[in-house]
Amino acid sequence: MTATTYKEKLKQLSRWIVDAQKPIRILNSIRTPPEWEAELVKSGFKDLPKNPREHYDKVALGFDPLEKSVELKLLKNEITSILGADDALGQHMQRLCDEYLLVVEMLKARGKVDFYRFSRELYGSPKDCFAQDVNTISSMSRLLYATLSGVGPSLPEITSPEDVPAKEVVESLNQRFAQYFDGQKVLAKLSDGIVADAAAGGDKVKIKDGAMFSKRDIDIYEVHEGWVHVGTTLNGRHQPVCEFLSIGPPRCASTQEGLAVLMEIFTFRSSVQRAKQINDRIICIEKAEDGANLLEVLEYMRTEGYSERDCITNALRVFRGSTLEGGAPFTKDISYCKGFVENYNFLRSSIRVHKPFVIPYIFVGKLNVEDIPLLYAKHLEGLVEAPRFLPPHFADLNGLAVWMSFSTFFNRVDLQSVQAHYKSLFDKYL
């Protein structure tokens, strides 16, 4: 059927974008082999795994890079031809095509230094400044490191042993998801094909078979993987017109991961150790940018007290898809803290300018926080549906509005004077 109305044209183009990106699977294409961990252990962490480029040459992309680039360029031209050069949603979809074109180039460069060049363009670098600010992600990371390293040992000891088998994690999550995603089938399932302990994909959350978990892990996966990652995917899939909201190119990573961290914190499910691990990955990425190789990054993690398994897992995350020699990391993991700050500033600003009604649209699908004003405007035009699945904190904005109203004042407080005051009391009595 030929698309005639504007809505029909949008829907058709959205579907073409969704179909075009289907075979592009970034994390699957840059997964590291289990043999590398064995090689590291066997050498006593003195030798780098051999021939990373040969490994990536054997990992099929699932598409022909040249053909996919041509397809995306033709699709971008088709969007302009059908909607016109000045159409706001058309321009948005063209940006999605440009993103996936860069992704194709990045994946073509697996195992090479050039991989980092595209990674930095897509995900950013610790040396970047936050939007509309002079502070860098790196400066935030160093401040967090000092704070978290100091506060951790001073907290009351609360143990959260990893004594829950993966099967029980799946059962618990499925019970929780059935309640949250009322009427929508969302499943947690065992998987032996993932590197991380948990990973969301579409309407499923994969839990690593054979791994052991804590009860806190289950609480975190419920909101991080379920409420955010699966929830935004489903909200995007339920869009009758703008189906592109169901897919997440790299420009969505910081908003998605930042929102997941935000929900962990809003629900008080995170921990100092988890926050420290997320922050340490930024430090590791910057070290790798500055020339540290896999072994040196791994040694940094060891000095921070991580287990051998966590040292290897976190170090390999930094070098996925790239060379192991240093100078060219995979920078996606800056997204968690970067996105938290960006999202928090968006929430605070929305409250301050008296536009809280846009806030729930951060869950409307896979997006960058900068897209929300446009998408809300298109909601008013009947082109974007409101998000179906929302955490209670975003379904009822009263609590969030009060929190953010107070937070807008905090920037005016002279924190150094306040800290000096309380430090004098601490020093006097403690």
Tokens of 316: 């390999």
Say which CATH number the domain at 155 has.
1.10.390
Q: What percent of the chain has pLDDT over 90?
A: 85
What's the rounded Cα separation, in Å, for the pair 187 and 229? Answer: 13
Q: What is the pLDDT of residues 128-164, one digit of tens each?
A: 999 878 899 999 999 999 999 988 788 777 778 888 9
- Report if residue 104 sits inside a domain: no
Q: How does residue 1 score in pLDDT terms, banded at 50, 70 and 90?
A: low
- Return the pLDDT at 51: 85
Q: What is the pLDDT of residues 210-250, one digit of tens each?
A: 889 999 999 999 999 999 999 999 999 999 999 999 999 99
Structural domain span for residue 166: 125-396
**137 touches 337 (CB < 8 A):** yes
Average pLDDT over residues 327-343: 96
Tokens of 314: 């976190």
DSSP-assigned beta bridge partners for residue 205: 188, 200
Q: What is the pLDDT of residues 377-428, one digit of tens each?
A: 999 999 999 999 999 999 999 999 999 999 888 888 888 899 999 999 999 9
**255 touches 248 (CB < 8 A):** no
Nearest to 296 by CA among 277, 268, 324, 269: 324
- Report if residue 36 sits inside a domain: no
pTM of the model: 0.93
Nearest to 163 by CA among 114, 214, 228: 214
- Report if residue 94 sits inside a domain: no
Q: How does residue 4 score in pLDDT terms, banded at 50, 70 and 90?
A: confident
Q: CB atoms < 10 A from the CB of 424, how many?
A: 10
Average pLDDT over residues 288-297: 97
pLDDT for residue 181 is more than 90? yes
Q: How does residue 283 score in pLDDT terms, banded at 50, 70 and 90?
A: very high
Q: How many domains does the chain have?
A: 1
DSSP-assigned beta bridge partners for residue 198: 207
- Report if residue 91 sits inside a domain: no
Average pLDDT over residues 285-304: 96
- Report if residue 316 sits inside a domain: yes
- Report if residue 113 sits inside a domain: no
Average pLDDT over residues 289-309: 95
**106 touches 122 (CB < 8 A):** yes
The dihedral formed by the CA atoms of 311, 314, 315 and 317, expressed in degrees to the nearest 10: 160
pLDDT for residue 284 is more than 60? yes
- For every residue of 90-149, DSSP letters joined together read HHHHHHHHHHHHHHHHHHHTTTSTHHHHHHHHHH--TTSBPTTSS-BHHHHHHHHHHHHH
- Return the pLDDT at 194: 74
Integer angstrom CA distances of residue 335 from 234, 254, 323, 380: 21, 4, 21, 30
Q: What is the mean pLDDT of the chain?
A: 94
Average pLDDT over residues 311-326: 95
What's the rounded Cα separation, in Å, for the pair 316 and 298? Answer: 8
Helix axes of 335-352 and 137-151: crossing angle, nearest 10 degrees: 100
- Report if residue 210 sits inside a domain: yes
**29 touches 402 (CB < 8 A):** no
- Report if residue 386 sits inside a domain: yes
**17 touches 244 (CB < 8 A):** yes
Nearest to 212 by CA among 144, 177, 149, 165: 165
What's the rounded Cα separation, in Å, for the pair 287 and 294? Answer: 10
